[in-house]
Structure 1
Amino acid sequence: MTEHRTRKRFGQHFLHDRNLVDLMVRTLGLQKDDTLVEIGPGRGALTYPLLEDIPHLHVVELDRDLIALLRQENSPERLTIHESDALRFDFRTLKPADKPLRVIGNLPYNISTPLIFHLLSQADAISDMTFMLQKEVVDRLTASPGTRDWGRLSIMVQYHCQADYLFFVPPEAFSPPPRVDSAVVRLIPHASPPHPADDEEHLRRLVAQAFTQRRKAIRNSLKSQVTLDQFEQAGIDAGLRPDQLSVADYVALANITRPDSAKA
C-alpha cells in the first residue's frame, strides 16, 4: 500500500493494534444483513476486519488520498465509499426500509462531540453507534449524576440514548500515538426518550446555563430562569449543585419553565 502521511487538520491517528480491532469488531455481534457505516476508515484497520464478517460496508471519508487507497484495494460491490465530511453527511440516505443503520468509527478527537450530536439528530435511522474516542470524552458520555464527569455532554447525550463504556485503549494502539488515552463507547438511541422534553432546545439552553456555575447551588445559576416555587413544583432541592441533578430533573425543570408553558 502507498504510504499515507497523517494530516493534523483531520486529527488523524491510525489504529494498528489488531487485538483491539478484533475486540471492537466482536462487540458488534454483526449479522450478515446489517447495514453498517464506518466513519473515517483511515487506512482500513477496522474496515478490512469488518469486511471479514459482513458482505458489504459503507464508509464515510473526507481525505482524498485515503479514498484513493481504499478504491485501489476494494471493489464497489463490497465497499461503498462516500466522499464527504461526516459532520454534514445525511446518514438517513443509507438506511434500508426494513432495518436501522449501525455506525462504527475511530473518531477524530477534534470533531467527536459535534459528530455525535449530528448523528443523534438522525437517531431515528440508527440502532447503535460504537466509537473509539478520547477516554476523557467517553468518561463524560457515560458519567452518572454526582460524579466529576457529569455535565452538559452527559445529560444531553443520555437524554437521547443509553451510553455504555466498553473498554480502554492505550495510546500505543495508534500511529502516531496520541497524547491521551482512548476508550470505546456504545451509544444506543432511545426509541423515545424515557423523560421527554416538551422543547428540546429549551432543555439544551437550560442545561448549558446551569453549568455556568458548576460548584454553586443550582438556584444561583438558574435564578433568571427558574423560581424557587418552580424548583419546589419539580420536586428538586434548589440547594443542590448542577452536577447532582439527573436527566429527569433537568427535563422536569425545562418542562415547567418552557416559554409557552403558561399558555398550555
Structure 2
Amino acid sequence: MQEAPLPRAKKRFGQNFLVQPQVVQRIIAAIAPRSEDLVVEIGPGPGALTRGLLQCLSRLDVVELDRDMLAGLRALAGSGALRVHHADALSFDFAALAGGREQCLRVVGNLPYNIATPLIFHLLDQADVLRDMHFMLQKEVVERMVAAPGSKAYGRLSAMIQASCAVESLFTVAPGNFFPAPKVDSAFLRLIPHRPPRVPEALRPAFAQVVAKAFAQRRKTIANNLRGIISADTLLALDIDPGCRAETLDQAAFLRLAEAFLHQGSLP
C-alpha cells in the first residue's frame, strides 16, 4: 500500500516532519515505552512517531495545533488507543491527563525550534505529574541545556534547566532525516525532573531572578552583574569569588545566591 503524500509544512508552526523510519525506531528504543505508560506526544504532525508509539502502547494522547493534521491523526485513532487534542501545547493542561496521579506522564515530541524552550518551562511548571520528557530539538539548544559550568555553552538556559531536571543528550540527527530539511542539526534529548526538586517552590522566583541577572552581561563579573542586589561582602560570605563570571558557578552556588537574595528582602 502506497503511503499518503506528506502534508505541506507550515512555516508559522515551525514544522519539519521526521520522515526517516530508522530514526523513529531509534527514538522509540530510547524512550522504551511500556504498554501501560501514559505517553503524550506534542506536535505529531503526519504521525510518523505516533504510528510507532501506537504499536507499543495501550493508550496515546497527542496534542496538535495545526487543524490540517487532525483528520490524518483521527484516522489513526480507529482502535480507540489514540486521543487527539486540538490545542496549543504552550497553554495545554498536561496535568489533566494524569488523572490525579503523580510522576506518571511521559512527554515526547519533535518540537518546533521556535517554541521548544518556553514549552519545556511550561511543562516544568507541571513537573509533579511528569515522569520524563524526550524531545527532538535544535542541536545547539541541546548543547546549551547539557553544558557544564565553565564551558562556553553554559549559560542561563543551562542553569535553569539543570536546576529542574537531569539532562542527557542521547544522539544527533542530520537535517536529511526531516522534510523539509532544517538548516541545522538536531539532537534527541532526555529530561528527568529531580525528585525531590533541587529548588524548593518558595525559592524558585529568587533563583530565576538571580540566574537572569548573573548572566545579563556574560563578560562582566558576578559582582558587577549582581550589584545592587547582592554585595561583594555577601558573595565572599557565600564562598563565591566576586571577580568570577556567572558561567563558572555551579547549581549549589546559584542556590546559595538565591537564598541570600530572598532572605535579605530584595524580592517584592
Per the TM superposition, whether the score is higher than 0.5 is yes
> Mapping of 1:114-153 within 5 angstroms?
114-153=118-157
The one-letter amino acid of 1:41's match is P
Counterpart of 1:46, as a letter, is L
Could you list the runs of 5+ residues in structure 1 that have no partner in the other structure? none
* Equivalent position of 1:59 in the other structure: 62
**Normalization by structure 1: what TM-score?**
0.95
Q: Indicate yes or no: 2:220 matched with 1:216.
A: yes
Partner of 2:47: 44
Q: How does 1:6-17 map to 2 (within 5 A)?
A: 6-17=9-20
Q: How many angstroms apart in 2 are the aligned matches of 1:207 and 1:236?
A: 14
- Per-residue CA shift, 1:181-221, capped at 9, x if unaligned? 10011000012223547421121111111112212221111
TM-score (norm 2): 0.93
Tell me by how many angstroms 1:2 deviates.
5.9
How big is each residue's C-alpha offset from its partner over 1:104-133, in whole Å with a ceiling of 9 and x where there is no partner? 000000100000000000000000000000
Maintained 8 Å contact 2:145/2:167 = yes
**Residue 110 (structure 1) aligned with residue 132 (structure 2):** no
Structure 2 counterparts to residues 190-209 of structure 1, below 5 A: 190-194=194-198, 196=200, 198-209=202-213
Q: Does 1:163 align with 2:156?
A: no
Native 8 Å contact 1:197 1:254 kept in 2? no
Per-residue CA distance 1:205-264 (angstroms, 9 max, x = gap): 1111111221222111111111112111211111111100011111101101216559xx
Distance 2:205 2:161 in 1: 13
Give the root-mean-square deviation of aligned CA atoms: 1.6
The list of structure 1 runs, each at least 4 consecutive aligned residues, that deviate by more than 3 angstroms after superposition, is: 96-99, 194-198, 259-262
Size of the alignment, in residue pairs?
262
Paired position in structure 1 for 2:37:
34
Report the secondary structure of 1:43's partner residue: coil
- Kindly provide the amino acid, as one letter, of the partner of residue 217 in structure 2: Q
Matched-pair identity in %: 47
Unaligned runs of 5+ residues in structure 2 are none
For residues 28 and 72 of structure 1, the distance between their equivalents in structure 2, rounded to whole angstroms, comes to 24
Question: Secondary structure in 2 aligned to 1:21?
Answer: helix
